[in-house]
Amino acid sequence: MKTLKFSNGDTMHAIGLGTWKSTGGDVKQAVKDALQAGYRHIDTAAAYGNEDVIGEALAEVFAEGEIFREDVFITSKLWNDSHAEGQVIPALEESLKKLKLDYLDLYLIHWPVAFRNGVDSPKKPEDYLTPEEAPIIETWKQMEKAKNDGLTRHIGVSNFSEKKLKDLISKATIKPEMNQVELHPLLQQDSLLAYCKSENINVTAYSPLGSGDRSDSMKAEDEPNMMDIETLKEIARDRSAIVPQILIAWHNHRGCAAIPKSTTKDHIIANFKSADVSLTDSDMKKIAKLDRHFRYITGKFFEEPSKGYENIYDE
């Protein structure tokens, strides 16, 4: 298994288990199946509403005495309603309580957008705090304190453009250590990757398989299905693999982590085995040609120009 390295020497498996849309007994079993299959990297978020069951799964596995807390890299994320002064550390502590942990490995600012406290999903402009009311650097200072206090070993961001990263880095004391963004062959984001590399920021790919289990309201009518792309099917046949494995292996070849979501045991095992799939230069060149800057997660649902949030990805 490839790993991504942090500047203090910590490492993170380049394949982790995603858990958005995974709830209840399904995600509890998925986490157990994943750890048994060899995963040591779990991705969750306050907004996924599943930290408590993931915490139960982790506690039960750790109690068996074969896998220990320090073996597993656990990421959670600050929800958009807890950016304002004094709210970050209580939100992180709430995540830790639910996860039954005393530290996280990585804590991310989920989106570069702030809501009023208690707003899960904004319905009207008043549900937002403007960037002046909740400046991202003030949120970041609280993230830095969380790291300095030992509540999380690493801090980072998610859904940040190069422009937003540059602005944050110019004001930050601790540089973001991770940017978690949508990435896959249809959205390759080479320049964002090059920028992150130049700043020593690790990159994790979300929705690496095309997020096919999102609700219909989040989907475009003519959305492409990556599982059906002929080039990927051919490469999969050549490598005696399946398309999801090619999609995951592609990230690892580019030096990124990928966090495919699954609650199906066979998929969980197959996705982990992507670590054994080697892609050739010729495969990589063929996949490079598939780029069309297509986003499954448009971010439009959080755009509110009247409150200073437009063009979330700055493009």
Residue 196, classified by CB atoms within 10 Å of its CB into exposed (0-12), middle (13-18) or buried (19+), is buried
In this structure, which amino acid lies at residue 286? K
Q: How many CB atoms lie within 10 A of CB 133?
A: 15
Catalytic-labelled residue, pool 48, 107, 195, 296? 48
Tokens of 152: 């999380």
Backbone angles phi, psi at 282, to 5 degrees: -65, -40
Residues 118-137 that bind ligand NAP (CB under 6 A): none
- Stretches 115-123, 136-144, 194-202, 257-265: which one binds ligand NAP (CB under 6 A)? 257-265
- DSSP labels for 171-212? H-SS---EEEEE-BTTB--HHHHHHHHHTT-EEEEESTT--T
- The CB-of-184 to ligand NAP minimum distance in angstroms stands at 7
Q: Does 264 bind ligand NAP (CB under 6 A)?
A: yes
- The CB-of-27 to ligand NAP minimum distance in angstroms stands at 10
Question: What is the DSSP-derived secondary structure letter of residue 85?
Answer: T
Q: Does 180 bind ligand NAP (CB under 6 A)?
A: yes
Residue whose structure tokens are 């982590």: 257
Residues 54-113 that bind ligand NAP (CB under 6 A): 110
Please, which residue, 96 or 259, has the CB nearer to ligand NAP? 259
Member of 6, 13, 14, 18 binding ligand NAP (CB under 6 A): 18
Helix (H) or strand (E) holding 63: helix 51-63
Residues 159-178 that bind ligand NAP (CB under 6 A): 159
128: annotated active-site residue: no
- Stretches 60-68, 148-156, 264-272, 279-287: which one binds ligand NAP (CB under 6 A)? 264-272
Angle between helices 281-288 and 243-253 (to 10 degrees): 100
Residues 25-54 that bind ligand NAP (CB under 6 A): 43
Apex CA 226: angle with CA 220 and CA 229, to 5°? 120
- The CB-of-179 to ligand NAP minimum distance in angstroms stands at 10
- The CB-of-65 to ligand NAP minimum distance in angstroms stands at 28
Tell me which residue has its CB nearest to ligand NAP: 18
- The CB-of-44 to ligand NAP minimum distance in angstroms stands at 7
Three-state secondary structure string covering 228-255: HCHHHHHHHHHCCCCHHHHHHHHHHHCC
- The catalytic site residues sit at 48
> Which residues are at the interface with ligand NAP (CB under 6 A)?
18-21, 43, 110, 158-159, 180, 206-213, 244, 259-264, 267, 270-271, 297
